[in-house]
Amino acid sequence: MSSEQEAESIRCLVAKVGLDGHDRGAHVIARAFRDAGFEVIYSGLHKAPEEIVQAAVQEDVDVLGISILSGAHDTLVPKIMDGLEEYGAKEDTLVLAGGVIPEEDRPGLEEAGVSAIFGPGTSIEETIEFVRENAPQR
């Protein structure tokens, strides 16, 4: 299988959680992931953790990218992780968080199961590379 076919089979959900109304970053990532050959679903704005979990499970995604700038990451992200666990989807979903997440909050998110946190200024190439190297094999 060529690496292009491999990339095409990576299904990603780019999700905005909570009341955060800033979605430019999520759109930039969604477009970059598409350009990289990933299959991308965008959640739209103002989604509850349960809605994101439902979408991730129903769409059978390999990667869930949570974009959050509201500062509520420490409550919303663990709710998403718990939901994925309830559906038995936590183990085979690569969960990424992006946005303004203070250094001191990162260990808690990583303990909850977030594989990587990409802050402002992270290169898109770095994010794509991380997904290619770490997305679950089907």
Q: Where residue 4 falls among pLDDT bands split at 50, 70, 90?
A: low
Task: Look at 52 and 1; give whichever has higher pLDDT.
Answer: 52
What pLDDT does residue 130 have? 98
Give the strand pairing for 94-99 and 63-68.
parallel
Q: Domain limits of the chain? A: 11-134
Q: Which CATH class is domain 11-134?
A: alpha beta
What pLDDT does residue 22 have? 82
Q: Where residue 25 falls among pLDDT bands split at 50, 70, 90?
A: confident
Partners of residue 66 on adjacent β-strands: 15, 97
What pLDDT does residue 1 have? 45
What pLDDT does residue 2 have? 47
